[in-house]
Amino acid sequence: MKTIWVKASQSYPIWIERGLLAQCGHLLRQTAAGAEKAAVITDDTVNSLYGDTVVHALEESGYTVYRFVFPHGESSKCSATLNDIYNFLCEHQMTRTDCLVALGGGVVGDITGFAAATYLRGMAYLQIPTTLLAQVDSSVGGKTAIDLPGGKNLVGAFKQPIAVLCDPDTLQTLPEVFLADGMGEVIKYGMIRDAALFEKLEQYTLDTIQNGIEDIIATCIDIKRDVVEHDEFDTGERMILNFGHTLGHAIESYYHYETYTHGSAVAAGMCIMTQRTSTPEVYERLCRCVHAYHLPTQTEASIHELVPLCGNDKKRASKALRFIVCETIGKAEIRSMPFDAFASWMEGGQA
- Binned at pLDDT 50, 70 and 90, residue 347 comes out as confident
> For the residues 156-170, what does the mean pLDDT come to?
96
pLDDT digits (tens, 9 = 90+) for 241-292: 999 999 999 999 999 888 999 999 999 999 999 999 999 999 999 999 999 9
Which candidate, 56, 117, 52, 53, places its Cα nearest to that of 89? 117
Which candidate, 181, 206, 174, places its Cα nearest to that of 267? 181
- For the chain, the average pLDDT equals 94
> For the residues 27-43, what does the mean pLDDT come to?
93
Per-residue pLDDT at 351: 42
On the question of pLDDT at 348 being above 90, the answer is no
List, in order, residues 6 or more apart from 97 with CB less than 8 Å away: 34, 35, 36, 123
On the question of pLDDT at 317 being above 70, the answer is no
Per-residue pLDDT at 170: 96
Rounded to an integer, what distance in angstroms lies between the CA atom of residue 128 and that of residue 44? 15
> For the residues 8-29, what does the mean pLDDT come to?
94
> For the residues 27-50, what does the mean pLDDT come to?
94
List, in order, residues 6 or more apart from 52 with CB less than 8 Å away: none
313 versus 139: the higher-pLDDT residue is 139
- Binned at pLDDT 50, 70 and 90, residue 151 comes out as confident
351 versus 166: the higher-pLDDT residue is 166
pLDDT digits (tens, 9 = 90+) for 47-74: 999 999 999 999 999 999 999 999 999 9
With pLDDT > 90 as the criterion, what percentage of the chain qualifies? Answer: 87
With pLDDT > 70 as the criterion, what percentage of the chain qualifies? Answer: 97
Between helix 176-193 and helix 280-292 the angle, nearest 10°, is 150
Rounded to an integer, what distance in angstroms lies between the CA atom of residue 65 and that of residue 42? 13
- Binned at pLDDT 50, 70 and 90, residue 319 comes out as confident
On the question of pLDDT at 318 being above 70, the answer is no
- Binned at pLDDT 50, 70 and 90, residue 235 comes out as confident
Per-residue pLDDT at 234: 84
Specify the 3-state DSSP secondary structure of 95.
Answer: coil
> For the residues 2-17, what does the mean pLDDT come to?
94
- Binned at pLDDT 50, 70 and 90, residue 314 comes out as low
pLDDT digits (tens, 9 = 90+) for 72-84: 999 999 999 999 9
Per-residue pLDDT at 72: 96
* 274-to-115, 162, 287, 289, 342 alpha-carbon distances in Å: 36, 36, 10, 13, 15
Residue 194: Cβ within 10 Å count: 19
In which element (H, E) is residue 202 found?
helix 195-202
Per-residue pLDDT at 350: 43
Rounded to 5°, angle at Cα 152 from 148 and 153? 90
